[in-house]
Amino acid sequence: MQRWGWTIAMMLLPALCVAATPAAMTMADEMQADRLVELSRRWAAPWPRTPRLADLHSVIPAPAAAIETRAAPPHLTLPSMPLSPPLRVAAGVVTLHPDHQRVQSVRLDIGGACVTRRQINQRLGLADRVLPPSGHAPEQALTLSYAKPDRWISYLFPGVDHRCVSQVVLRPAEASAP
């Protein structure tokens, strides 16, 4: 009798795990994919070789909050920003050098709709650098990085199937691609 109990439990476990996962995101349409790539280019446009915080003021939303901790470099946290509903920038971080004037990187967390690798490749072509995931954990991301003369624009696709963009990361050209 106990054997049947374990058999039933093993059959139901995968179904329970699927039921516990969040609902799938809606697929982004072509206009939403265009808006994401446009957002990436707009945030990257003001960057000279050594990006300054002042160069980004035109794109940083007013409610961004400066945070400084002893254990991490100073940074600005960015609020949620609608992009093309339901697609949005869920949050973001602008990491600064200790002088509070130069930018190390920008990370924009994307949510609300699934922009696929195919949609990114259609708009930007083949990536200059592809960084495959280094493990099997669901948080491991496939990264597509595009080199521009003075910056890297990278799109991160986490999860088992690496289907949807979850982050856009911008770094100066002298930094390594994420």
Among the ranges given (25-39, 53-67, 105-119, 155-169), the one the predictor scored with the smallest mean pLDDT: 53-67
Is the pLDDT confidence value at 14 over 60? Answer: no
The residues facing 103 across adjacent strands are: 96
d(CA 141, CA 122): 20
Say yes or no to pLDDT of 77 above 80: yes
Burial of 22-49, coded b for 16+ CB within 10 Å and e otherwise, reads eeeeeebeeebbbbbbebbeebbebbee
Residue 36 contacts residue 115 (beta carbons within 8 Å): yes
Please check the confidence at residue 164 and state whether its pLDDT lies above 90.
yes
Mean pLDDT of the chain: 82
Q: How far apart are CA 107 and CA 23, in angstroms?
A: 24
Query: Residue ranges of the domains in the chain?
Result: 26-172
Name which of 14-18, 85-89, 98-102 the model is least confident about: 14-18
The pTM of this model reads: 0.81
User: Stretch 118-146: mean pLDDT, rounded?
Assistant: 89
Look at residue 21 and give its three-state secondary structure: coil
